[in-house]
Amino acid sequence: MKFAITSKGDSRSNTLMHKMKTYLLDFDLQYDEDQPDICISVGGDGTLLYAFHRYASRLDKTAFIGVHTGHLGFYADWVPEEIEKLVIAVAKTPYQVVEYPLLEVIIRYQHGGRETRYLALNESTVKSVEGTLVMDVEIRGQHFERFRGDGLCVSTPSGSTAYNKALGGAILHPSLRAIQVAEMASINNRVFRTVGSPLILPDHHTCTLKPVNRRDFQVTVDHLTLLHKDVKSIQFRVADEKIRFARFRPFPFWKRVHDSFISDSD
């Protein structure tokens, strides 16, 4: 088996990374940063997001494991004190593959038929470079509303606990193949109206944003912030690809939600 390890970059994470690498090499596993079968992320959810985007072209071949060295993460289920146990599990134990849905983002441009495609594990947001964002929102090719406000956030089920939750969106279980559209400070008065509630779309529905006045937008894809000019449309849907996690033990989603937002234990 080939493995790779990514680190948050702090001294604690780097120490754990080097220790695990040494242990796994002692078990005759092969270290391969280019084509790993398993990628171990050491740090937090942000570190795993980085690893996901690094290996986005081989999601059907690489499974991910998260070790958190800070606060409890939604993607990282191992703690530093369990490193030896994790190493033995990786080297000796068959793992269960758990798949989470991803968000596909396709940005099309006004000229030349060009388009850019991204995958998001958590969410994608769209904001105007300056002023209010004004977008026509289409669902399944039909006009739904004209949005006016600060921006829109489209999230995956696993990303529904992040920015989406802060916007008042629902928390979705990752077994649901769906995306969620949440508003950022929409303008609602007697002249302008939006639905005012998050929308949950199944995997056979698309959500497309079409500019009304401006053509330049700030688009985020997870931790990446990108400026896109001369935009014709931005399309969101559940991606065909999935992220694969290597599980050696149960990691219940609702327990993670409880521990992150409700539990008062350290």
Q: Return the active site residues.
A: 45
3-state SS of the chain is: CEEEEEECCCHHHHHHHHHHHHHHHHCCCEECCCCCCEEEEEECHHHHHHHHHHCHHHCCCCEEEEEECCCCCCCCCECHHHHHHHHHHHHHCCCEEEEEEEEEEEEEECCCCCEEEEEECCEEEEEECCCCEEEEEEECCEEEEEEEEEEEEEECCHHHHCHHHHCCCCCCCCCCCEEEEEEEEECCCCCCCCCCCCEEEECCCCEEEEECCCCCEEEEECCEEEEECCEEEEEEEEEEEEEEEEECCCCCHHHHHHHHHCCCCC
The pair of three-digit structure tokens given for residue 209, joined into one six-digit string: 């944003």
